[in-house]
Amino acid sequence: MKNTFFSILTILIFAGLISCGGAKVSQAECDPVVNELISNLAVGQTPEQADKLKAMQGQISAHLLKECMTGKYDLTCLKSSKTLAALATCKK
């Protein structure tokens, strides 16, 4: 009975690890997309907004990179987004 339980538990854990997986898109693919997205968002901002964006750029870049690597976003759409509203439409 114990062997059966541990066998089933092992199979479930293994299946969970496979289904969760890791990054779907590599960091090398996402880095240029995120950098271009940040520069697109900075265009047309007021000086105050540009300063806020620059101050938070590290946090925003890290979050966008993480989201990009999930594979849930269309990279060409992300690259061409100019506003946060447009960014929301890039989800697959």
How would you write the pLDDT of the chain (92 residues) with one tens digit per residue? 555 544 564 555 554 444 555 558 899 999 999 999 888 888 878 889 888 888 888 898 999 999 999 998 899 998 888 887 888 898 88
Q: Measured between alpha carbons, how far is residue 41 from residues 22, 29, 59, 73 in Å?
A: 28, 19, 14, 17
Please tell me the distance from the alpha carbon of residue 51 to that of residue 6, in angstroms, as a whole number: 56
> Tokens representing 72?
């849930």
> Tokens representing 15?
């299946």
pLDDT of residue 16: 47
pLDDT of residue 23: 58
Q: What are phi and psi of 20, to 5 degrees?
A: -70, -45
pLDDT of residue 54: 86
